[in-house]
């Protein structure tokens, strides 16, 4: 079993992460069948794994969540209802990594990671959009083969320059901004390498302003994604990022969930707001909080160039 590395968040922030973990544990009774139920379980495992990496004492809970996900995936796989390509492959690979960290086996996810790694190795060049998947799947496959995570070979072959973005991004819709944050994650491999590109400085300035605007619009998920992107660009210490993290922290309830949505829920009632609204928001914000407050935190581990 790979040793779980713990770098604690600063004490004040650790309490925030602990509260968020308490909320996540309280919604762990999520239904474990069907695509949406499994997606919730993956999100929960990912977030609990992040909490563990931030220094929250939740080893048993993460292990138990990992075991539950493994059991659900294995059962769905036996019933031929598990199609890994229906989920975000990055989330699945990160959950598999979390399972490995906690000594939990999951044959269908292991096969999925191997299948992806083999496919990437066969490609003459990895498309930029799949660089993170290539990096993760090959690192995981290398762990299986050699007992330790090695850097991906195909990522070195992937073109991971950031495309050009300019001020026009200020007028972009939500989907475009989300795709830009994904581009930044890909270019920097979730912050494990420095993103390059001609206009990185200009992009940073625009993203910092969009971050403030989205938080003013109370779009916490997009705000958290933008904050992570800004950190990936190496600007986690900028004034806008500090404002944003302070604002996000102020939006935590006593039970650990993030976001105040009473008005939205009155207008559009949800069957299960904990799972359908608060869980994705809390996972996204928690991830940003961990990225911003745990010294030296890097989701995929630091990669030297």
Partner 1 sequence: MGSPDAYTKAEAYVITHVLFYASDLGQRAPLGLTVRDIERLDKAVNQLLGMYISARNWDLTAELISSSHCLRRSSLFVSFAWDCIRGSQHSDGAVPGPRYQQVKEIEHSVHDAPIVEACYHTTLVCAIAALISSYAACA
Which residues here bind partner 1, judged by CB under 8 A? 167-168, 170-171, 205-206, 208-210, 212-213, 215-217, 239-240, 243-244, 246-247
Kindly state the smallest distance separating residue 73's Cβ from partner 1, in Å. Answer: 40
Kindly state the smallest distance separating residue 167's Cβ from partner 1, in Å. Answer: 4
Name 16's Cβ contacts closer than 8 Å, sequence gap at least 6.
249, 252, 289, 293
Which of 171/268 has CB closer to partner 1? Answer: 171
Torsion of CA 245, 250, 254, 260, to 10 degrees: -110
Kindly state the smallest distance separating residue 218's Cβ from partner 1, in Å. Answer: 10
Which of 115/167 has CB closer to partner 1? Answer: 167
Which of 29/250 has CB closer to partner 1? Answer: 250
75's tokens: 């059962």
Which of 152/208 has CB closer to partner 1? Answer: 208
Kindly state the smallest distance separating residue 110's Cβ from partner 1, in Å. Answer: 44
Residue carrying structure tokens 């003013």:
216
187's tokens: 């270019």
Which of 168/263 has CB closer to partner 1? Answer: 168
List residues bridging with 258 in a β-sheet: 252
What phi, psi does 258 have (nearest 5°)? -110, 145
Name 209's Cβ contacts closer than 8 Å, sequence gap at least 6.
170, 240
Kindly state the smallest distance separating residue 222's Cβ from partner 1, in Å. Answer: 12
Distance (Å, rounded) from C-alpha 102 to C-alpha 104? 6
Kindly state the smallest distance separating residue 256's Cβ from partner 1, in Å. Answer: 23
46's tokens: 């990912």
Kindly state the smallest distance separating residue 210's Cβ from partner 1, in Å. Answer: 6
Name 11's Cβ contacts closer than 8 Å, sequence gap at least 6.
none
3-class state of residue 103 by DSSP: coil
Which of 6/239 has CB closer to partner 1? Answer: 239
Which of 136/225 has CB closer to partner 1? Answer: 225
163's tokens: 């495309």
| Residue 261 burial (CB count, 10 A) | 18
């Amino acid at each position: 079993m790979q040793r779980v590395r713990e770098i604690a968040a600063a004490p004040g922030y650790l309490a925030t992460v602990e509260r968020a973990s308490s909320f996540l544990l309280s919604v762990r009774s999520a239904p474990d069948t069907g695509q949406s139920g499994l997606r919730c379980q993956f999100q929960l495992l990912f977030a609990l794994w992040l909490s563990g990496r931030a220094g929250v004492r939740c080893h048993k809970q993460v292990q138990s969540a990992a075991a539950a996900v493994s059991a659900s995936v294995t059962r769905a796989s036996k019933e031929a209802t598990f199609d890994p390509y229906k989920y975000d492959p990055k989330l699945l690979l990160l959950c598999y990594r979390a399972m490995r960290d906690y000594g939990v086996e999951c044959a269908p996810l292991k096969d999925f990671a191997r299948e992806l790694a083999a496919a990437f190795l066969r490609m003459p060049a990895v498309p930029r959009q799949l660089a993170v998947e290539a990096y993760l799947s090959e690192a995981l496959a290398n762990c299986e083969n050699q007992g330790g995570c090695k850097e991906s070979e195909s990522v070195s072959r992937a073109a991971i320059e950031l495309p050009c973005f300019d001020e026009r991004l200020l007028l972009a819709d939500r989907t475009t901004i989300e795709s830009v944050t994904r581009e930044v994650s890909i270019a920097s491999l979730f912050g494990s390498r420095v993103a390059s590109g001609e206009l990185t400085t200009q992009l940073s300035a625009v993203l910092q302003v969009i971050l403030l605007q989205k938080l003013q619009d109370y779009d916490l998920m997009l705000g958290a994604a933008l904050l992570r992107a800004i950190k990936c660009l190496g600007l986690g210490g900028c004034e806008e990022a500090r404002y944003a993290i302070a604002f996000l922290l102020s939006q935590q309830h006593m039970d650990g969930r993030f976001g105040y949505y009473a008005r939205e829920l009155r207008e559009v009632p949800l069957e299960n707001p904990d799972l359908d609204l608060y869980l994705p928001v809390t996972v996204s914000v928690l991830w940003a909080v961990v990225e911003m407050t745990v010294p030296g935190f890097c989701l995929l581990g630091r990669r030297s160039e």
